[in-house]
Amino acid sequence: MVESDKSVRQYIPLLLILLVYPYGIGLVAREFVADALVFVTGLVTLFLLHRQGYGDILVFRKPTWKIVRRVILAFLCKLCWAVIVYHFLSSTKNEEALDSWSYTGVQLFLYNLYLLVYGPICEELVFRGYMMRSLAPVSHLQLDVLCSACLFSLGHVLPTGWVLNDFLVYLGSGLIYAILFKKSATIYPVIILHIMWNSLMVL
């Protein structure tokens, strides 16, 4: 019973993180306040990763050609998925909302900083790093990959309203990110891929 209680308690911080980010933050009306909360959530997730013994994924390792090839392959998979989405699905409400925003000056700088730097980093820390390591006991069933991809997708869909099309679009991306993280056993390759992709999207 004690072991069972301990097993349940270890998931409480993960559930709290998910309640706050992205679902809770999505309810914040002021966009830049929400962005600041995302940054704080990333810092809290870093603390929890170390506190619960998952800090090994944050250890920087010298890049190898194997890792580089995996990142390139994952990027190509993202391109293929984008082609499939273009031909068989439609643009998401989240993308339409992003396209409708127009910023200048400091607002534009902060928006790009979020989209290209700490947004992807925080998402990967939460959905890949912390979540998948927390679900390591069921990783042999690939539930860590599936849960990570599903919750990542829901995090992008629910703030603008549930649409199956949108869920499928982000589910594909989430699966690619999750698989790359699992194959790499470190957080940096998937962060790089996420930043690369977001950078391509703003060009």
- Cis bond leading into 63, ω under 30°? no
pLDDT at 2: 43
CA–centroid distance for 23 within its chain: 13
> How does DSSP assign 40-101, residue by residue?
HHHHHHHHHHHHTT-GGGGS-----HHHHHHHHHHHHHHHHHHHHHHHHS---HHHHHHHH-
Q: What pLDDT, on a 0 to 100 scale, did the predictor assign at position 91?
A: 83
Residue-level pLDDT at 83: 96
Consecutive 10-residue runs of the chain (203 residues): their mean pLDDT?
A: 56 77 60 77 91 90 92 98 93 76 77 89 95 90 94 88 93 98 95 96 82
The answer to whether the pTM exceeds 0.75 is yes
pLDDT of residue 1: 45
Specify the pLDDT at position 8.
63
